[in-house]
Structure 1
Amino acid sequence: MSAGYEDTTAIILAGGRATRLGGIDKGWYQLDGIPLVRHTLDRLNGQCQKTVISANRSHADYAALGYPVVADQRSDYAGPLAGIASALATVETEFALVVPVDTPWLPRDLCCCLHGAMTPDHDLVVATSPHGRQPLHCLLRVALHGDLAAALAAGERRVMRWQDKFSAACVHWSSDYPFNNINSTQDTSRPHAVDPPAKDV
């Protein structure tokens, strides 16, 4: 296992409201009879040294999976940036790999590919696909936590706008398939595709 893997914690964002799925806890929505959170954990298997789950409900159920669970530190719903900030406050590694809980086909080499584009001059590396930037599939330096906390306190809620403040690299995937997310029951049909390789951009 490389130094990048050993110094990286995966953050699974499972604190969303899932309004298009009737407000259920999306991590426990089942695809092929398996909860989305288990699909995500399977895809992340072996990619990072540690894993943290950011969740605002079902804490006992998530904790039963064997990973630390962190709730948003804010009482209001501030979106994924709040989940990232709360989880980063608990991370002891140098890097964090951020992924949402609702992309059950995320790349099995996501961490490796993003680390391959990280340099001392970069603060974060973001995945892209033909659809565009995938801001919630990113590798970032945990040292950014202080800036993120300040940005949230100042009212920032947009992930991409916050990311645009920093020196970033991108790694491109030739297909949107690995980043297809589950927002409605219509999204559960598994596309017939194989995991495409990534290339630096």
Structure 2
Amino acid sequence: MAEFSQAPAASPANTLCVVLAGGQGQRMGGVDKGLQLYQNQALVAWSLARLRAQSWGVAQHIGISANRNLEKYAALGYPVWADVRPGYDGPLQGVMASLQHANSWPVPLHYVLLVPCDTPHLPLDLALRLSSALAATPARLAAARANARTHPLACLLSLHVMPELGRYLDSGQRKVQTWMEACGVQWVDFDTPAYAANAFDNLNNLADLAARPPP
């Protein structure tokens, strides 16, 4: 990793875009949430499509963080990795694994853009606005906030947060927002009416999968 002060602004060329699909899906009865169908398409495919369509340009580096059915995720055509520490130890384990993969990517990368697998209507300027926020502040991570609700797993992180995240996990702590706040996260607002009310809605149960987005 280059020194943080010398790191360029985040862009498709230096950012690994990752769909987080490693959860237990407890509120869906323990199914693999990313593979569940929403409007005839797997949730993970929706998230991948949103990453590819981001307004900052064509995504050049994409991966999937998953902890089961790895072969099914790999069939989508992107690298797939599991948490280093098994046992569904919370989303920060997926964040850490993604940062580690970005750090050892075949080309030098500086950032990781994360999106959840259960948020199919993310804004197409998510990456651009998070990148702009990092470029304008000393922060090393930026995350979405919409209508006063935070969405910490829709975020852009510098690889330089890895040591702090490692220490946080080693201490036994697991809360995503607590760690982000300690790192000085820059929140970026995506409020209505400029953005759809459902832009960051998580589909957490089977009833949500049957629903249609509002017009």
Structure 1 length-normalised TM: 0.90
Using the aligned pairs only, state the percent identity. 38
Q: Partner of 1:184 in structure 2?
A: 205
**1:186, CA displacement in angstroms?**
2.5
Q: Partner of 2:52 in structure 1?
A: 45
- Match of 2:198, as an amino acid? Y
The answer to whether the 8 A contact 2:12-2:61 is kept is: no
Q: Partner of 1:197 in structure 2?
A: none
Q: Partner of 2:75 in structure 1?
A: 64
Q: Partner of 1:29 in structure 2?
A: 36
Q: What CA distance in whole angstroms lies between the structure 2 residues aligned with 1:152 and 1:10? A: 22
**1:78, CA displacement in angstroms?**
1.3
Q: What CA distance in whole angstroms lies between the structure 1 residues aligned with 2:164 and 2:188? A: 24
**1:167, CA displacement in angstroms?**
2.6
Q: Partner of 1:16 in structure 2?
A: 23
**Partner residue of 1:122 out of 135, 139, 146:** 139
Residue 82 of structure 1: SS of its match in structure 2? helix
Question: Which structure 2 segments of 5+ residues have no match?
Answer: 1-8, 104-108
The answer to whether the 8 A contact 2:10-2:131 is kept is: no
The answer to whether the 8 A contact 2:114-2:153 is kept is: yes
- Runs of 4 or more off by more than 2 Å in structure 1? 46-49
**Partner residue of 1:98 out of 98, 101, 114:** 114
**1:3, CA displacement in angstroms?**
5.9
Residue 11 of structure 2: SS of its match in structure 1? helix
Aligned-residue Cα RMSD (Å) equals 1.6
Q: What CA distance in whole angstroms lies between the structure 1 residues aligned with 2:64 and 2:23? A: 12
- Match of 2:146, as an amino acid? S
Q: Partner of 1:198 in structure 2?
A: none
**Partner residue of 1:78 out of 89, 93, 111:** 89
**Partner residue of 2:180 out of 163, 172, 176:** 163
Structure 2 length-normalised TM: 0.84
Question: Which structure 1 segments of 5+ residues have no match?
Answer: 194-201
The answer to whether the 8 A contact 2:36-2:42 is kept is: yes
Q: Is 1:109 aligned to 2:117, yes or no? A: no
1:64-87 CA distance string (max 9 Å, x none): 111111101112321100011011
**1:168, CA displacement in angstroms?**
2.4
Q: What CA distance in whole angstroms lies between the structure 2 residues aligned with 1:74 and 1:161? A: 20
Q: What CA distance in whole angstroms lies between the structure 2 residues aligned with 1:157 and 1:108? A: 29
Figure out how many residues of one structure are paired with residues of the other and give that number.
192
